Amino acid sequence: MESLRQTFHYISLNTFEILAVVTETLTGHSENATADITFYYRSKKMQFSESLPNVFKPGLIYTGFIEVFKQDDTPLPYPSGNVTLHQFFYVKIKDNIKQKTINEVDEPVTINGFMSVPVWEPLEEIKMPPLILEIPVNGIVRFDINPFINVSQVSLKAEYKDLIADLLLEKFDSPSNTYVQVRLLTSTPKIMSKGAILTRGEFDMRSQTTRSFTLPMLHDYSPSARIVVHFVRTDGEIVADALNFDVDIFIENEVSILFNKKTAKPGEHISLKLKADPGSDVNVLAIDKAVLLLKSGNDITPKMVN
């Protein structure tokens, strides 16, 4: 390790190929194998879930997830402490000058015959109280924020020990300021679309503003899903929202194997019973028990390698 640091001043995120050669003393026969290993400066990592939308709906709760894992994507030992989530809301500054329309603000301004960069209205930063979030056993931290109606941008900053993650959210664009939102109520769903529409339906929302529904759990739905909801206003505007979430993969075809005897002598016939769904292709492989001779007593340890 020290020699690598002398050769490479910064080895974090670099991948190295390791070659191991083992030579048998009696025969002189050698075998080799290679493996890639990546070095990381930190043993832990933290990030906002990649499936999160980068927009928020004013007046509606935004639900997000922060992932805190080891570099090999396994959860940290529980308990691991808390994540501090700082939230900053940005609203447009109201002044006494003539209010410009959105089109006028976004257009470039000509000064002395030269075209300048577009002018945007200044924003005022509002720092909200931080959220203290405990890291659960699975390492996925859930949080909810509720931006004000007049918020244009939201900046999120997560801190955990020496780790920092940032996320910038923009206001969802709707000419009529009408929004619809789909939220995940089940933390461990099992459903997937594979790019095809597997189910559809309609809800009568004329007398209510929220509605809950359930979806059947099928094997064909794993490993991820996307739910889309939308409605059409009387003026023709389509208001929509979508939700992506990961899925735990489960086995659809359970296969079992059973011998008619627990022990048998060499040369003795035994029968084997297999159980699986109709039409399944089942392959059976017999392994010589001699492979069990290479147990822990014959392992090559780092101390034995010169």
The model's pLDDT over 113-123, given as tens digits with 9 standing for 90+, comes to 666 555 567 88
The model's pLDDT over 187-234, given as tens digits with 9 standing for 90+, comes to 433 333 455 666 666 777 777 777 777 776 666 666 677 777 777 776
Radius of gyration of the chain (CA): 30
Full residue range of the structural domain in which residue 279 is found: 258-304
The encoded tokens of residue 136 equal 């659960």
Give domain status of residue 25, yes or no.
yes
Question: Do 64 and 143 contact (CB within 8 A), yes or no?
Answer: yes
Burial code (b: 16+ CB inside 10 Å, e: under 16) for 61-93 equals ebebbbbbbeeeeebbeeebeebebebebbbbe
State the pLDDT confidence band at 5, using cuts at 50, 70 and 90.
low
Q: How many domains does the chain contain in total?
A: 2
Give domain status of residue 285, yes or no.
yes
Give domain status of residue 102, yes or no.
no
* Of residues 111, 105, 187, the one with CA closest to residue 142: 187
The model's pLDDT over 110-166, given as tens digits with 9 standing for 90+, comes to 666 666 555 567 888 889 999 999 999 888 899 999 888 888 899 999 999 989 999
Give domain status of residue 34, yes or no.
yes
